[in-house]
Structures are given as C-alpha cells and as structure tokens.
Amino acid sequence: MEHFAYAVIAAFVLAYGLISKRLENTFVTDPMVFVFFGLLLSAPVLGLVTDKDHVFINTIANLTLILVLFSDASRIDLPSFWKQGHLALRLLAIGLPLTIVVGFLAALIVFAQLPIWQAAILATILAPTDAALAQAVINLEIVPPRVREALNVESGLNDGICLPFLLLFISLASAAEQVNAGSYWIMFVIDQLVLGPVAGIFVGYLGGKFVLWAIDRDWMAENYQRLSGLSLSIVAFFVAEGVDGNGFMACFFAGLVFGNVARKVSRAVYEFAEAEGQLLILLTFMLFGAVMLPQVSFVSGWRVFAYGLFSLTAARMIPVMLSLAGKGLSAPGVVFMGWFGPRGAASILYVLLVVDQHDFSGESIIFQATAMTVVLSVFLHGLTAVSGARAYAGTLGAQTDGGTRPG
C-alpha cells in the first residue's frame, strides 16, 4: 500500500471524527461507515487497498485480536461474575454453545460438501457477537439496564470463549486432511490449548504483580497503567509463540489473570481498549470492506446468503430463548436480545486466522459465508438498532424487564 493510501485513511478518520457525535443515535453506525469507506478503497473501485497488502492487513488484524482478547478477558471479575452473572452467564454458558451447535447443523445441511469439522469451524467463527455493532443499543438508556448490561458483557467475553473451540475444531479439521491424523491432533492440542494458556497465565500473573508493586510505590504514571495491557498482551503473545504455543490463547488467559491479580488497573486497561483500541476495530471493518467484501458473491451464492440470514436469526434467537427461560424476561425482551447479537470484528479476525494459516478444502465456503454474514449484520443491525430499541422501550415488556416507558 502506497503512502497516499495511508494519508487518505488518516484523513478520513479525522474527518469522520469531526461529525461523529452528530451521527450518534441515528441509523448510521461507525462500522457501516468504515465498511463503505473500505469498499471505496478496494481494488474494484479506487484500488488503494488490495489483498496484496498482506503485511498491513495481517498487522492490523493480529494486533486487534491480541488487544481485544486481552482487554475483554481483563474485565472478568471471576468471583463477582459467577455470583452476579445472571443473564450474561446464561447467554455465555448455555446460549453460546447452543449457537455453535445450531450453526454447525445448519452448515452441514446448507453446505453438503463441507467436511464435518470445517462446518464446526464456520459455526464457531460466527458465534461471537460484536460490541462495536451493538453500541447503539447498549448506550441507549431507554433499554432496561440489565438487558444492556447482559448484551455488553456477552459481546465482550464470547470471542475469547469461542477461541479454544475454534482451535480445537481447526486441529480436528487439519488432522482429518493429514496422513498421521492421530499424532498431529495430539500435538496440536498440546501446543495450542496447553502451552498457550500456561504462557498467558505466567505473563499475566507476573505482569500484574509488577504493575501493582509500581503503583503501590507511586512509581507508575496513569498513562503507563493504561498502556500496561497493550504491552503485556504483546509479551504474552510472543512468549507463547516462542514455546510453540498459541499466542492468541495466551493473550486471553494473560488478560484474565492480570484483571484479577491487578483489579485496580483493569479499568484503565479497559478504557484504553475503548479509546485507542476502537481505532483498530474500525480499521478492521475498513479492511473488511476493502479486501473481503469485494470477494463475496451476492448473485450466485444463494446458499451463502441463506446461511448468513439463518445465522443472524434462528441460530441466534433460538439459543437465546432457551438460555433465558425462567429468568423473568418478557417475550419482547427475549426477542430483542435474540435479534441484537450482531457479528462483526471477532468473526472477521477469526476467519482471517483460519484462511491465512490453513489450507482447508472448504476454505472458500467458510470465507464467503463469514463475509456475507458480517456484511448483512453490519447493515441490518445498524439500521434497526435505534428504531428497535425505541420500539422495545415503548412496550409493557420493557417495564417488566426493569425499564421505563418513554414519556
């Protein structure tokens, strides 16, 4: 990518920032704008960003995933989460696995040629929801607080929870396409699902102790407390990679341990991710529009389109309905939470991880289905966020769920 393209991207970020507040609480969302901007930069239009820019694309994607996994995990206060998780705990412990199962069964039916473990990979890639796409709903005070909190916590944590399942299915899919399937699978599981977490726990615990030690002696400035999460996430990634473990697993476990060892710093780390980290997420949507979206077949890929719609509706709404049974939510509340499970940055980053590092026979289907689902979600959830929240807030169901009707 030439210097001019970098200048255009930087200028656009500034220009959009100038009017960003005026667009709040409208049907125009940040991901929608950045996806459209990315499409303008793509090879078929202006040609400023193409799939040949592997270094830039991989750097942004990897750095975003590293920071997202660490910062999301650092928010988990394990003791209080188990005691007060309520709706979010149900969504993560029951709804998320059911979403993977339903998506897996649908993939086997819609894409009959897709091998079984690759169908599981596709379902797992599309299971996590996206906080960036749900912000328009989460920030609206007319939505009952416990509904907003549940959606926020769910979208913040389910990407990290999906990662070990994704790695497991990748190992099984890889083993199925290799001669020494048994030995490959065993070594892959050890390397990816054991060494990575061990490295992350080590870095997160040691880093958290060092940060607390410096804060207690008033040695560490607040700005560097915010930066500590970024530094430790990158350290955890490369320590794990150095021992042949999975760096992304290390980031999640490092954040989980760091957030509980250094709880007083986790807020600062989260604020950093909300501000500076938000730029990386928006750049991910831009790259999606520039590189992935032009490769989606909107005409001939009717199966891909159908699977995308199913993934956003039944594959999400049925598990949500089952997981929230008996929690006292009204029918409109359950429907609202079921619909607002958008797919975005996590799905983009996970499919890039699969495509870049593996060569599966069903790679094209996985890529196409993911890209189609994300673009549908960006615009369908974006366009219905504010209107859907207002419609829900105007029902008696919102009062039952802990909200108030607008005057």
Sequential DSSP letters for 342-384: ---HHHHHHHHHHHHH---TTHHHHHHHHHHHHHHHHHHHHHH
Where are the alpha helices (H) located in 191-221, listed in sequence order? 196-216
Contacts for 326 with CB less than 8 Å, ≥ 6 apart = none
Residue ranges of domains in the chain, CATH in brackets: 3-16+29-400 (1.20.1530.20)
Structural tokens at position 205: 């615990």
Contacts for 306 with CB less than 8 Å, ≥ 6 apart = 110
Which pLDDT score is estimated for 407?
47
Query: CA 129 to CA 344: how far, in whole Å?
Result: 7
Structural tokens at position 166: 């994704």
List the pLDDT tens digit at each of the 407 positions of the chain.
678 888 999 999 999 999 988 887 778 888 999 999 999 999 899 989 887 777 788 888 888 888 888 887 887 766 666 655 578 889 999 999 999 999 999 999 999 999 999 999 999 999 999 877 767 677 777 888 888 888 888 887 888 889 889 988 988 888 777 655 556 667 767 777 788 899 999 999 999 999 999 988 889 888 888 888 889 999 999 999 998 888 998 998 999 899 888 877 777 777 776 667 788 889 999 999 999 999 887 655 789 999 999 999 999 999 999 999 988 888 888 999 999 989 988 899 899 989 887 889 899 999 999 999 999 999 999 888 888 888 888 886 667 777 655 54
pLDDT digits (tens, 9 = 90+) for 172-200: 888 777 655 556 667 767 777 788 899 99
Which pLDDT score is estimated for 79?
65
Which pLDDT score is estimated for 194?
86
Query: CA 1 to CA 57: how far, in whole Å?
Result: 10
Which pLDDT score is estimated for 146?
82
- The model's pTM: 0.87
Which pLDDT score is estimated for 300?
56
Which pLDDT score is estimated for 35?
95
Other Cβ atoms within 10 Å of 299 Cβ, number: 6
Contacts for 229 with CB less than 8 Å, ≥ 6 apart = 67, 70, 71, 74, 255, 258, 265, 268, 269, 272, 273
Q: Find, among 317, 331, 350, the residue nearest to 95 by Cα.
A: 317
Query: Assign residue 77 a region: left if phi > 0, alpha if psi is -120 to 50, beta otherwise?
Result: beta
Radius of gyration of the chain (CA): 21
Which pLDDT score is estimated for 296?
84
Which pLDDT score is estimated for 182?
59
Which pLDDT score is estimated for 96?
95
Other Cβ atoms within 10 Å of 67 Cβ, number: 23
Which pLDDT score is estimated for 105?
97
The answer to whether 108 and 119 have CB atoms below 8 angstroms apart is yes
